[in-house]
Amino acid sequence: MVNGPMFNPFEVSQRQLDKSAEKLDLDPDVHALLREPMRTLEVHFPVRMDDGKARMFTGFRVQYNDARGPTKGGLRFHPEETVDTVKALAAWMTWKCAVVDIPYGGAKGGVVCNPKELSAWELERVARGYVRAVGRFIGPEKDIPAPDVYTTPQIMAWMVDEYSTIVGYNAPGVITGKPIPIGGSLGRGDATARGTVYSIFEAAKVIDLPLQGTTVAIQGYGNAGFFAAKLMQELAGSKIVAVTDSRGGVYAEDGIDPEAAFDHKKVTGSVTKLAGTRSVTNQELLELDVDILIPAAIENVITEENADAVKAKIIAETANGPTTPEADEILYGKGKYIIPDFLCNAGGVTVSYFEWVQNIGGYYWTLEEVHRRLQEKMTRAFHAIHQTAQENNVDNRTAAYMVAVQRVAEAMRLRGWV
């Protein structure tokens, strides 16, 4: 979430926990255990490259806390992966699963590699090599990986195949985010964005904002950004007036067609220069006079420098950590409605949970069933946080931490850990 020389992401996650621990008057022993991951695994494994030579890869899997159930969380393939980033992301998965009340602890994993420099065959061998290295530590009842940055349903398919070969039977429940023909769930593809949209529905109700015709700006036009645009238009009747990606972006007062922007990006590599629009920078997008702002790209984009210029009424954090703690205070002071990241982007892991339930039950749901249950989960989580914020007179992020930490702490107490 927070990168750069100034921030160690894991220390940031610990500071966030400390703040809510104080508000909750948390038992010091519970607090001490929640400040550290329960297990951190580092692996080194060989992969045969296309040129015939073997290369060593480094991977991690952090199982942060399993008091509420088997640990759950994505796997990143990233050239700059560090154990501290993985630890922070594993902590956030713990809070995310607790907030939407699914019976999991939190985990995260990563392999230090640049998938853009690997051939498809090499990628497959890295995926299988990682599973051989961590195979003993994961499992449908133990720790369940899923896709994340630069990992795809195809990579999940190779991994589930390798794991099944190791254990000697077909074990679809070991990994979620699989392709549908091998046990994936309907509705997993747009689940993160759909969860965001369902939480925006509730935020709009509590601030009394009729959604029909509202204007929306979206930063980031990957899977989450694109589906957020499409679903805000289709389900909320909103007008998408601006979208950006890493190269810049576009603005159109009369609205942008989400599909057209997506097709344009597929062809040209970026949403920039889309016909019928004018250009807008990533910085300008955040300050547009719109009703709803959806940061769906990277961390630390709303800072103390620009928070004052943000005009949107609702800020729906689909990205992890787009708002710095200083910006948070400014936005809260200005009465902005923030839907904090680990609530706003919890739709992905929620449908992962549904996928796992279907794998274990061996019975597959309709798309309508997935959507209905996702909306139910998101709505309930939203109101638990909103109510906690109101009752304790705190911002939504602190309230989200309070709800999550309390749930994990209670599971620890019931198990007799403290």
**From CA 19, how far away is CA 162, in angstroms rounded?**
42
**From CA 272, how far away is CA 280, in angstroms rounded?**
9
Residue that the structure tokens 């800020």 belong to: 315
Closest approach of ligand GLU to the CB of residue 356, in Å:
9
Residue 108 designated active-site:
yes
> Of 245, 369, 242, which Cα lies nearest the Cα of 298?
245
Identify which of residues 73 and 220 has a Cβ nearer to ligand GLU in the complex.
Answer: 73
Counting every residue, how long is the chain? 418
Q: If you compute the radius of gyration of the chain from its CA atoms, what whole number of angstroms results?
A: 21
Identify which of residues 146 and 159 has a Cβ nearer to ligand GLU in the complex.
Answer: 146
Q: 3-class DSSP state for residue 243? A: strand
> Of 298, 330, 300, which Cα lies nearest the Cα of 6?
300
In the shown chain, the binding pattern of residues 170 to 209 toward ligand GLU, with x for contact by CB under 6 A and - for none, equals ------xx--------------------------------
Chain residues 143-162 in contact with ligand GLU, contact rule CB under 6 A: 146, 148
Residue 349 in the binding site for ligand GLU (CB under 6 A): yes
Q: Output the six-digit token pair for 27.
A: 């038992």
Question: Angle CA(207)–CA(98)–CA(208) in degrees, nearest 5?
Answer: 5
Residue 219 in the binding site for ligand GLU (CB under 6 A): no
Closest approach of ligand GLU to the CB of residue 248, in Å:
26
Residue among 108, 178, 230, 336 flagged as catalytic: 108
Options 128-136, 219-227, 265-273, 347-355: segment touching ligand GLU (CB under 6 A): 347-355
**From CA 172, how far away is CA 146, in angstroms rounded?**
12
Chain residues 96-125 in contact with ligand GLU, contact rule CB under 6 A: 96
**Quick one: residue 208, left, alpha or beta (phi over 0 = left, psi -120 to 50 = alpha)?**
left
**From CA 292, how far away is CA 177, in angstroms rounded?**
29
Total site size for ligand GLU, rule CB under 6 A: 11
Q: Which of 63, 352, 358, 375 binds ligand GLU (CB under 6 A)?
A: 352
Identify which of residues 146 and 193 has a Cβ nearer to ligand GLU in the complex.
Answer: 146
- DSSP E strand boundaries for 264-305: 278-280, 292-295
Residue 297 in the binding site for ligand GLU (CB under 6 A): no
Q: Which of 294, 348, 378, 412 binds ligand GLU (CB under 6 A)?
A: 348
Q: Which of 74, 115, 129, 183 binds ligand GLU (CB under 6 A)?
A: 74
Identify which of residues 37 and 348 has a Cβ nearer to ligand GLU in the complex.
Answer: 348
Options 29-37, 66-74, 291-299, 394-402: segment touching ligand GLU (CB under 6 A): 66-74
Closest approach of ligand GLU to the CB of residue 138, in Å:
12
> Of 81, 156, 149, 158, which Cα lies nearest the Cα of 124?
158
Closest approach of ligand GLU to the CB of residue 176, in Å:
5
Helices (H), 207-346: 223-231, 258-268, 282-286, 325-333, 341-344
Identify which of residues 157 and 280 has a Cβ nearer to ligand GLU in the complex.
Answer: 157
Options 35-43, 68-76, 122-130, 270-278: segment touching ligand GLU (CB under 6 A): 68-76
Identify which of residues 160 and 242 has a Cβ nearer to ligand GLU in the complex.
Answer: 160
Q: What separation, in Å, do the N-terminal and C-terminal C-alpha atoms of the chain show?
A: 30
Identify which of residues 249 and 348 has a Cβ nearer to ligand GLU in the complex.
Answer: 348
Helices then strands, counting H and E runs in the chain, come out as 14, 13
Q: Which of 73, 173, 195, 321 binds ligand GLU (CB under 6 A)?
A: 73
Residue 254 to residues 133, 218, 238, 240, Cα–Cα distance (Å): 53, 15, 11, 9
Q: Which of 31, 61, 72, 265 binds ligand GLU (CB under 6 A)?
A: 72
Which positions touch ligand GLU (CB under 6 A)? 72-74, 96, 146, 148, 176-177, 348-349, 352
**Would you name the residues annotated as active-site residues?**
108
